[in-house]
Amino acid sequence: VKEIRVTVAVIAAVLAIVVLSSSLYTVAETEQVIVTQFGKPVGKPITTPGLKVKMPFTQVVHAFEKRFMEWDGDPNQIPTKDKRFIWVDSYARWRITDPLLFFQRLRDERGAQSRLDDILDGETRNTIAKNELIDLVRSTNRPFVVADDVAELSQPEAAERVEHGREKLTKEVLENARRRTGDLGIEILDFRIKQINYVEAVRQEVYARMISERKRIAERYRSEGAGEAARIAGEKDRQLRVVESEAYRQAQEIRGKADAQAADIYAAAYNRDAEFYRFLKSMGTLRESIDPETTLILSTDSELLRYLSSAK
Amino acid sequence: MEIQLPNGLSFKTPTFPGRVVARAVLVIAALVVVFSSWFTIEPEEAGLVMRFGRYVRTVPPGLHLKLPRPIEAVVKVPVERQLKEEFGFRTESSAGSRTTYSQEDLSAESLMLTGDLNVAVVEWTAQYRVRDPYKYLFKVRSVQKTFRDMNETVMREVVGDRSVNEVLTVGRQEIAAEVEQRLQALCDQYENGIKVEQIVLQDVNPPDAVKPSFNEVNQAQQEREKLINQARADYNQIIPRAKGQAQQTIEQAEGFATDRVNRARGDAELFVKVHAAYQRAPEVTRRRMYLETMGEIYPKVKKKVVLDEKLKGILPLLPVAGAAEVKP
């Protein structure tokens, strides 16, 4: 009798555990769940985490991600409106807003990803094909900062105006895609272009253009250097002449002034007695001009020899 | 209990009294409870405790207690650690003093279009921290991959609005700052709990194929500087000297002028003095001066001819010492 009692107790305990474990379940912080009974949804989706209760055995729990999820598109080769072939790699953020609808329409994440592929790739293609490349690359018409005097000649395409800009175009893709996902129980929160790259052939062309552009800049630097050097050399020559002639002019002026002053001084003095000056100057000149080679012919009439002939 | 094996052998399992079994089970259960009831959080971490999957509290570093499994569970997030993502390159190891980089081709990450539709290669590092571990864990799935995608997007947006010249030269600082700010805004929008600490631009280069021509520009720039510097040197060699020489010319003229005027003054003074004396006795002074002059001149001259006015028609020769030879 005692053994039977023990056996019954054990069986009851096991049963209790089984029932309990089938009727209790946890919802993680990152999950949201729907409960179905024989395939039919029961009650509202459960979005709050914690320990929950359901009918044992007959009800099944389907858990879905509650967090934002990633969608990473495959790089696509797409021509822009201006017929440039580019690789476009984009990503999007999305989440399940209505788990029940999501479960009904898409079943699981794989289904969702492939629907997103269709929708987003298509919308990306549409938008890109309608726009020029510059609109995809730039966001604004922000003027380029000119680092040096060369930038202004280096960019022929900088003049192209951006009509919409990258931000607006990705928003456009997002809006259009959103319209098509409304009835799928999901919401796309953001769509962005991760990478835009030229296809190989175009890239080579762009490189060739960049190279020729650089060469042009290099040539300009060289010619600027030569030009500037010539200018400085010219400046040097001019400066040299200015300095020299200015000095000459000043020197002559100074000399002239001094000569004039000297002449005035002489005149003022000698005018007292011009005749006496002539006499004095003649004496001086005689003294200086006569040397041993000179032959002196004197008349006895002269002042000096007057007394040579007679003493009177 | 006795167990019969098919080959005829048999053995007995040891039998335990029910009470012993129950005790053993209880002890093991107790051990499990005790060991899953405490946990430590390292200094750089924060611990998030979940009860039946629901977040209940965050605990700081140290030793903590919780309800045993499966009631409560802990997730640790390194909130204080600075995390890093590299773009366009990968550090393989930085053990010791030498850092090695992966040789893998990561140009897809770093190649980007600039606003003038040229191509630049930009490599950068994003340093970040988990600011809000709750958001970090529960708001976004694959946070790291998302963060990488965000980085690539924002960097290309910012670079896409600049010319290649700007990206390669003056724009670096500005680009890093703008990416940092925009990336933070995007993190806030996505609620991933990340705080962007710093964006560091590493190498920013033109693509390999174009590099030589960029170097050529640098070279040409150097050449330009060189030519200009040479011309300036030439200028500096000539002009200051010329200025000095000009000054010299002027100084000399000044000297001449002073000399000239002083001499004039001296001469004038002399004349005035002599004239004053002369006026006191004009006849005598005049004669005296004449005779003195003649007296000075006369001995110097070797050949002297004296003519007597009265001897007409005769040309008398008076040979004087040393004048024997007659010059034609």
pTM: 0.71
Confidence at residue A148, expressed as pLDDT on a 0 to 100 scale? 58
Asked if B261's CB is within 8 angstroms of A262's CB, the reply is: yes
The percent of residues in chain B predicted with pLDDT above 90, rounded, is 42
Asked if A139's CB is within 8 angstroms of B296's CB, the reply is: no
Across residues A236-245, what is the average pLDDT? 93
Closest CA to B175 of B146, B203, B155: B155
Residue A4 confidence class, pLDDT cut points 50, 70, 90: confident
Q: Are strands A295-299 and B303-307 parallel, antiparallel or unpaired?
A: parallel
What SS3 state is found at A268? helix
Residue A6 confidence class, pLDDT cut points 50, 70, 90: confident
> What is the total residue count of chain B?
328
Q: Are strands A76-79 and A85-96 parallel, antiparallel or unpaired?
A: antiparallel
The per-residue pLDDT for range A116-142, each reduced to its tens digit, is 999 999 999 999 999 888 888 888 887
CA distance A180 to chain B (A): 22
Question: Is some CB atom of chain A closer than 8 A to the CB atom of B16?
Answer: no
DSSP 8-state assignment for residue B83 = E
B53, A49 in Cβ contact below 8 A?
Answer: yes
Longest CA–CA separation in chain A, Å:
204
CA-CA-CA-CA torsion for A248, A253, A256, A261, nearest 10 degrees? -150
Confidence at residue A149, expressed as pLDDT on a 0 to 100 scale? 52
Closest CA to A158 of A134, A139, A176, A174: A134
The per-residue pLDDT for range A170-198, each reduced to its tens digit, is 999 999 999 988 888 999 999 999 988 88
Confidence at residue B11, expressed as pLDDT on a 0 to 100 scale? 61
Alpha helices in B8-141 (DSSP H): 18-35, 107-110, 133-138
**Which amino acid is located at A49 in the chain?**
P
Which phi and psi angles does A124 have, rounded to 5°? -60, -45
For chain B, report the end-to-end CA distance as a whole number of angstroms.
175
The per-residue pLDDT for range A196-209, each reduced to its tens digit, is 888 888 889 889 98
Residues of A in contact with B111 (CB under 8 A): 197
Residue in chain A closest to B48 (alpha carbons) equals A29
Cα gap A27→A47, rounded to integer Å? 8
Alpha helices in chain A (DSSP H): 2-23, 99-105, 109-129, 133-137, 151-154, 166-181, 200-270, 274-289, 306-309
Asked if A147's CB is within 8 angstroms of B170's CB, the reply is: yes
Residues of B in contact with A262 (CB under 8 A): 260-261, 263-264
Confidence at residue B6, expressed as pLDDT on a 0 to 100 scale? 63
> Which of B293, B303, B318 is the best mutation test for A, with the most CBs of A within 10 A?
B293
Alpha carbon A194 to chain centroid, angstroms: 19
CA distance B97 to chain A (A): 35
| Mean residue pLDDT across chain B | 85
Cα gap A86→A167, rounded to integer Å? 18
Question: Is some CB atom of chain A closer than 8 A to the CB atom of B176?
Answer: no
Confidence at residue B295, expressed as pLDDT on a 0 to 100 scale? 83
- Residue of B53, B210, B235 with shortest CB distance to A29: B53
Distances (CA, A) of A105 to A102, A146, A301: 5, 54, 157
Angle at B310 between CA B309 and CA B312, to 5 degrees: 90
Confidence at residue B14, expressed as pLDDT on a 0 to 100 scale? 61
Confidence at residue A295, expressed as pLDDT on a 0 to 100 scale? 77
Confidence at residue A280, expressed as pLDDT on a 0 to 100 scale? 84
Specify the residue for token string 């390669």. Answer: B168
Q: Which of A146-150, A186-190, A286-290, B179-183 has the lowest mean pLDDT?
A: A146-150
| Mean residue pLDDT across chain A | 86
Residue in chain A closest to B308 (alpha carbons) equals A300
Residue B175 confidence class, pLDDT cut points 50, 70, 90: very high
- Residue of B162, B230, B305 with shortest CB distance to A229: B230
In B85-144, the residues whose Cβ lies within 8 Å of chain A are 108, 111-119, 137-142
